[in-house]
């Protein structure tokens, strides 16, 4: 079995379509969506595209998925109790308005989003048992990177009995050993850090870190044409991703919190 792992789209439909097109030539048997697929400018269209795939799709939830559900469940913006942040504190604007808007676009699918699990486990040829989670197997908000001290991570990953764990959350691909467990970050399909393109994984019988090119300028124009709050800022972030070094430094202050 060959599995494509797609993390953090986030409702960037042209990026997703580019990956799906490349995936069709890779004999993929199954897709795992590793969370944070819908918080972006084209959430309804993105979800419809994923649900229409002709091969099985497994979803696991990410912090943004849970935060969108919290928006839908709250009677008003002041009543929201979950923001998907590592600290648990409310997130600043413009992220709040984006989250509220995206959540409303998929309100008809609220029950389905609520049914997504935290982890999925698949037996993949050549790799053995592979666990998929958004951040770590115990949390969708914990932050760790390729630079995080291994000793802090071994108790989290070596107790789950998997040969490989696939994660995301930080938008940067990596492939490292943590104790006896191979931990691979799928990166981000729709909003990567440090580089442009759509990043994903192909699993079985080995691990392949993939990067798919697509038309960024056209996508930026499509984003600007949506009703997504602060769409211009989102388009610009796609064209000029944040520098990896700066984000690694920021994440180092929030690791495993």
The structure's pTM equals 0.96
Q: Which residues contact 43 (CB under 8 A, 6 or more apart)?
A: 11, 102, 105, 106
For the chain, list the domains and their CATH numbers: 3-252 (3.60.21.10)
pLDDT of res. 76: 82
Q: What are phi and psi of 15, to 5 degrees?
A: -65, -45
Beta carbons of 195 and 210 less than 8 angstroms apart = no
pLDDT tens digit at each of 257 positions of the chain: 999 999 999 999 999 999 999 999 899 999 999 999 999 999 999 999 999 999 999 999 999 999 999 999 998 878 899 999 988 888 888 899 999 999 999 999 999 999 999 999 999 999 999 999 999 999 999 999 999 999 999 999 999 999 999 999 999 999 999 999 999 999 999 999 999 999 999 999 999 999 999 999 999 999 999 999 999 999 999 999 999 999 999 999 888 86
DSSP calls for 155-198: HHHTTS--SEEEE-SSS--EEEEETTEEEEE---SSS-SSS-SE
Q: Which of 67, 75, 51, 68 lies closest to 106, judged by CA?
A: 68
């Amino acid at each position: 079995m060959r599995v494509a792992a797609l993390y953090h789209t986030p409702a960037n439909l042209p990026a997703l379509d580019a990956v799906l097109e490349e995936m069709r030539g890779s004999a993929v048997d199954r897709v795992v969506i590793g969370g944070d697929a819908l918080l972006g400018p084209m959430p309804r269209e993105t979800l419809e595209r994923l649900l229409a795939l002709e091969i099985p799709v497994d979803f696991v939830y990410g912090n943004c998925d849970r935060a969108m559900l919290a928006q839908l469940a709250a009677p008003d913006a002041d009543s929201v109790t979950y923001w998907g942040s590592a600290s648990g504190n409310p997130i600043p604007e413009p992220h709040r308005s984006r989250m509220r808007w995206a959540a409303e676009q998929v309100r008809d699918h609220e029950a389905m989003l609520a049914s997504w699990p935290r982890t999925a486990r698949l037996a993949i040829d050549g790799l053995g048992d592979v666990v998929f989670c958004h951040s770590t197997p115990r949390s969708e908000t914990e932050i760790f990177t390729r630079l995080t001290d291994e000793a802090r991570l071994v108790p989290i990953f070596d107790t789950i009995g998997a040969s490989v764990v696939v994660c995301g959350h930080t938008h940067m691909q990596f492939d490292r050993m943590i104790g006896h467990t191979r931990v691979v970050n799928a990166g981000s399909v729709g909003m990567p850090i440090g580089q442009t393109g759509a990043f994903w994984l192909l699993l079985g019988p080995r691990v392949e870190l993939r990067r798919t090119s697509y038309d960024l300028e056209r996508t930026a124009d499509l984003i600007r044409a949506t009703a997504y709050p602060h769409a211009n800022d989102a388009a610009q972030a796609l064209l000029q991703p944040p520098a990896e070094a700066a984000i690694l430094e920021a994440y180092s202050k929030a690791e495993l919190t």
